[in-house]
Structure 1
């Protein structure tokens, strides 16, 4: 569409974008999924008798009748709740006081129309690497006015999301691995008038800006800031054109075969890479999320096998015109190509010649990310959120066990294992809290399907349908989910769901207690015997986000008058003492997104403190908290992504480098 045709569409969408997202964000990131029918149209069973009483403020849901009061509040679990599992479960017993490993003064929220990057007093920040910075040998310096696809293939990608720092033997060297999720062409090209009018070179530049970037970092000593190494032998770009391979039970399945790959084992490329995880054996996992928006689907669905494109939102997409340069992005030409995306990709950053692998045993969905924990018996466990309204929380448990120091063995752990999906069961609100038990329902075992009527290929390629079949709990956009390395509990960020409780959609339940949920919440999970491989768990809501003066919010029992307002939790991370760190996406409170520390243990449980505020239109992503508490890495994604923004009138000029245009960047924040 042309700019003239596109602008009114972006400015006047006939729906409310999730959170405070701009229409531009919805258009480029997720193909305007909010305006499409909800892919999950199943009628899974839900908790009964959710609303049985109404009690005092911050005690329980305040008399929800229909959609009249969007109220919810919870209380933290008590030792008495352990009876759900017996005496062998330790539920928050003797919680310790973690203190604060990162010493900082809380910053005030910054109004959404202010273009600034704010950090605490006594701290400073600097861009570590920005879109277009040259990383491969021979790559030219970034030139906004004269971009080429060849240059972009050697330069840092666009819209950095998940970020991780992989240590090397020398403590002053490390590898930065970063997802480059999607592109904002309107903010990249001065003469952009819509995908259908784009030149082939512009399309190739956009394609090359997707994927992942691997970059070596160095510093003079532990007191010095980091700098990236231009032309390092470790530097690498992984793009939608990079050769990959499938592993696991569904590799070679009929639904994964294309005319270019009749074996169904050699997918090409990765894109829509959102969050991820770093494994104990030093590889990096990347989740392919909103892949559906990249396929041109004017034709009726007709692919072979169990992909069920409707369930993933592939049908109805107008794509990005990539089909002009790569026919595989035309659904009519290659109906199975979309089935080759939506996987967890494993990359070995220490070997730039290695082939990235897509692990089919971990299931296909809109992966927010994947993080690894080691179970009591040594098996590798990954928690995975499927980031869409009313979708599910999953867990993968490897067949083989982790071997300390045996990297070759550990590199195969994710090739075989069992996939589970979560069912949350509430216990009613008479106890004046939102909590209950849960169970992991097994979908596969030893390469076989446990879902009646579905083959193992169908379960893995269409994990959503498998979750539907077993009655998994529909969540409010389950995004990043990680296990706390200090207290052993699992934390799930549910970003928002403004369609919860609307006509024809699922209503509230104890794990998703607010209708029209615009601010999101955080679920805390305690697995039986504190074992990551357990199939039963206890859960509670540790945060119900929003304006602290809103009676529907809850902050783990902490005084709401003493917390920083927080809205739309997205990525989660932990510091060395076990405090939870949350970056936000789509803040509805009229302020810019940011990074927050949340205490989850001790007398200050639920205390939220804002550490950073990102520029206008930006999202805070991929936080990494250094163990010494002296450095925080934060990805600033899509600065200036505001509907009225243009090249000539940008909404942000971050990172304020003199180019006058916004450039997504990974930043380091450190003590001044």
Structure 2
């Protein structure tokens, strides 16, 4: 059977041109949304799962590539699953995490070597608690939450008297990416950089306190990013927010912040609007998801589901382009308070979003940039590594069912010197380079191995396009259409893509695809066409079509060179319940791992362990954070480190440089169907009678 989302709640659609009603509510039809609430589907991504898959190119899908690999692993894992008793039935000693040091893991020294990578803990059991649940011996401290002051002129938060002006001075809604940049002057401080992805108005506003126009204005202003000074406490892993009046670097980026477009597409006619006839200056950044911190101290942020903010009829000449990005004109009604979101008034405005944004937290007066050379699509984020040659390499995922993995290699080399001149040079590295898309090929299981090969197909560099019939600007602005022409591999929502700093491999979170298998025959032994899910913690496992629990893909560049044109790959984790036949944990015994579903973001500690956060758990539990060794005899031993509150998603994560704390963002707590401000499903962080998204620091108690 295929689980369906409940028919609640009603969701906003764009008003017609003759109506002054800002939000018209219509019942949302049931759809194949897996375990996400209908509320999350509506407000986070505009019910993307209700629409047809935007990629109709016919390119080979990853399920076709991986089918034989996963099928072979399923057979090998059957005996383990049959004897599984569930991780939480083990004794604390047997269940405790003891990550092995893999290749290069000895680089951790002193405090770092005894930190997060070597913490011993009893795995957290799956649960539905309305709190951040951590193992015994650990504590979860709230660092900052929606409405807290950011700028020196911040207005005190009053949920019944919210204004757009006040929101632009406060910590925004639904924090996602979490990064810490070293403070330029003080060793005991750092700069916290956080995205604010989207808003959920029914949970934000008490009924009758705001007009529909005010609701929209406040919601728009709650998007963007925050830069906040934080300070270490007296105990290892303790952090607190510095008072905005004593912070030099605090900054709130919002809908009125000016961004500069860089790279070959800057100034293209498609980027020009009435307000910006140059095509080089854009107001705001919206629906920012994951991100990454660069070696030169800036933060990259990915603009993701921007398509849902535009209202009106799609212009005839833009239909193919807009359809490929899911821009239907059925937006959130923003055009009623800002005409640039009206397609009839500004048909080019959508081209100004879908980019990777670079923010310099060390210079509060700097103009953040949108890098056209990194392509335009639904960026989950961008993560940078420096290749042996000195070139900067950025890996990126396009978070949509059936879309692609991308790589950027800079034209120029990174300058490691700590000088103003070197930093000025490094700030230009993402403006010129080569953009490529990935094609993966499976090699079968006859050799007893479960892997394949891949190649990076060039789309464009700073001088020219490599896609026949498309100009350089065409490739960068309509990157999805360009990639379709070179037949890369369609993936299942490729989200976070990061390089492990210890072993040099690349890890990709492929969250899920509820429609996986609709074009392929069912195969019970293959998770690409059949997943085991639970409707609740006490419900039995039941089969469901599609890839409901997701994968973690491991990629190995040839000879460890991130600029090489080819690589090998391995399906390291096929996520799900260990009792389920289709799951695979890099060969580790299934009875010794925690259930994991819907990997979203990844991070690494000093010894190279993989930390995986989840979004949309299809196994009945709240989402969580997991630690997984990637080398040595315990490779694949998934252990759950924490769970987030009811209805929330685990975002981040970030392991601090001293390895004494792990930061996560708790996004959309209480986003449960039927919930409202007056009848919340969660009150986390329990400072008020309604939920507030926030950032949490987890450390040893």
Structure 1 length-normalised TM? 0.89
Distance 2:525 2:263 in 1: 35
**Structure 1 SS opposite 2:165:** helix
Look up the match of 1:573.
603
1:57 and 1:435 map into 2 onto residues whose CA distance is 11
1:370 and 2:382 are equivalent in the alignment: yes
The whole-number CA distance in structure 1 between the counterparts of 2:211 and 2:443 is 55
Q: In structure 2, what is the Cα distance between the partners aligned to 1:129 and 1:371?
A: 24
Tell me which moved more, 363-372 or 200-209.
Answer: 200-209
| SS of the residue 1:370 aligns to | strand
2:285 aligned to which of 252, 270, 273: 270
TM superposition shift of 1:307: 7.9
Query: In structure 2, do the counterparts of structure 1 residues 343 and 60 end up closer, same or farther at CA, with 3 Å as the change threshold?
Result: farther
Which of 651, 657, 660 is the equivalent residue of 2:689?
A: 660
In structure 1, the residue matched to 2:579 is 549
- Find the counterpart in structure 2 of residue 151 from structure 1: 166
Q: 1:256 to 1:96 in 2, by over 3 A?
A: closer
Task: Specify whether residues 339 and 49 from structure 1 end up closer, same or farther in structure 2 by C-alpha distance, changes over 3 A only.
Answer: closer
- Aligned partner (choices 242, 250, 253) of residue 229 of structure 1: 242
Superposed counterparts of 1:396-545, under 5 Å? 396-405=408-417, 406-503=422-519, 516-545=546-575
Cα distance in structure 2, aligned partners of 1:631 and 1:289: 28
Contact kept, 8 Å, 1:175 with 1:216, in 2: the verdict is yes
RMSD value, Cα: 2.8
Equivalent of residue 670 in structure 2, options 637, 640, 649 = 640
Are the structure 2 counterparts of residues 532 and 510 from structure 1 closer, same or farther at C-alpha, using a change threshold of 3 Å?
farther
- In 1, Cα distance between equivalents of 2:605 and 2:379: 24
How far apart are the structure 1 equivalents of 2:470 and 2:612?
A: 37
1: distance between equivalents of 2:673 and 2:123? 27
Residues 254/97 of structure 1: CA separation in 2 closer, same or farther (3 Å cut): closer
Distance 1:49 1:158 in 2: 39
Alpha-carbon separation, structure 1, partners of 2:10 and 2:359: 40
Partner residue, 1:392: 404
Q: 1:127 to 1:55 in 2, by over 3 A?
A: closer
Q: Structure 1 residues 153, 94: CA separation in 2 closer, same or farther (over 3 Å shift)?
A: closer
> Which residue number in structure 1 is paired with residue 133 of structure 2?
118
Secondary structure of the 2:142 match is strand
Report the Cα offset of residue 339 of structure 1.
0.7
* Deviating more after overlay: 271-280 vs 226-235: 226-235
Give unpaired runs (5+ residues) of structure 1.
63-92
Cα distance in structure 2, aligned partners of 1:624 and 1:247: 28
Take 1:295 and 1:56, find their aligned partners in 2: how far apart are those partners? 46
Partners of 2:32 and 2:515 within 8 A in 1 = no
- Is the counterpart of residue 293 in structure 1 residue 308 in structure 2? yes
Name which of 347, 354, 369 aligns with 1:335: 347
| CA deviation after TM superposition for structure 1 residue 318, in Å | 2.2
Q: Which residue of 1 aligns with 2:40?
A: 25
Partner residue, 2:97: none
Q: Deviations over 1:613-657 (max 9, x none)?
A: 000000000111124332111100000000121112111101111
Q: Quickly say closer, same or farther: Cα 1:211–1:373, change in 2 above 3 A.
A: same
1:61: how far off? 10
**CA offsets per residue over residues 38-59 of structure 1, 9 Å max, x none?**
1001111468797679977634
Kept in 2: contact 1:426–1:511 (CA 8 A): no
Segment of structure 1 superposing worse, 409-418 or 146-155: 146-155
Structure 1 match to 2:81: none
Partner of 2:637: 607
Is 1:310 matched with 2:323?
yes
Please name the residue that 2:53 is paired with.
Answer: 38
1:433 deviation in Å?
Answer: 4.5
Cα 1:621–1:666 change in 2 (3 A) is same
- Alpha-carbon distance, 1:97 to partner: 7.1
Distance in 1 between residues matched to 2:211 and 2:390, nearest whole Å: 51
**1:542-563 CA deviation, whole Å, 9 max, x = no partner?**
1000000001000011011000
Whether the 8 Å contact between 2:102 and 2:608 is mirrored in structure 1 is: no
Secondary structure at the counterpart of residue 267 of structure 1: strand
Q: Secondary structure at the match of 1:166?
A: strand
User: What residue ranges of structure 2 are gaps of 5+ in the alignment?
Assistant: 1-7, 13-23, 79-100, 107-112, 531-544
- CA offset at residue 382 of structure 1? 0.2
Alignment correspondent of 2:85: none
Which of 91, 105, 108 is the aligned partner of 2:124?
108
Deviation at 1:328, TM superposition (A): 0.6
What SS class does the counterpart of residue 379 from structure 2 fall into? Answer: coil
Q: Quick check: 2:70–2:527 contact (8 Å CA) kept in 1?
A: no
Distance 1:436 1:507 in 2: 21
Aligned length: 632
2:665 is paired with a residue of what secondary structure? strand
Instruction: Report the CA distance between 1:251 and its aligned residue.
Output: 0.6
1:288 and 1:341 in contact (8 A); partners too: yes
Q: Which of 202, 215, 239 is equivalent to 2:228? A: 215
Q: Which whole-Å CA distance do the structure 2 matches of 1:255 and 1:494 have between them?
A: 32
- For each residue in 1:503-550, what CA deviation from the matched residue of structure 2 results, as whole angstroms up to 9, or x when unmatched? 489999999686610000000000011011111000011100000000
The more displaced of 603-612 and 148-157 is 148-157
* CA distance, structure 2, for counterparts of residue 30 and residue 662 of structure 1: 20
Q: Contact between 1:500 and 1:506, CA under 8 Å: does it hold in 2?
A: no
What is the alpha-carbon distance in structure 2 between the residues aligned to residue 509 and residue 427 of structure 1?
A: 19
Find the aligned partners of 2:441 and 2:524 in 1 and give their Cα distance.
13
Cα distance between partner residues in 1 of 2:67 and 2:120: 41
The answer to whether the aligner puts 1:669 opposite 2:698 as a matched pair is yes
Aligned to 2:662, what secondary structure does the other structure show?
strand
CA deviations on 1:52-99 (whole Å, 9 max, x unpaired) are 79977634699xxxxxxxxxxxxxxxxxxxxxxxxxxxxxx9847779
How far does residue 321 in structure 1 lie from its aligned partner after superposition? 1.6
Structure 2 CA distance, aligned partners of 1:446 and 1:226? 42
| Structure 1 Cα separation of the partners of residues 527 and 562 of structure 2 | 20
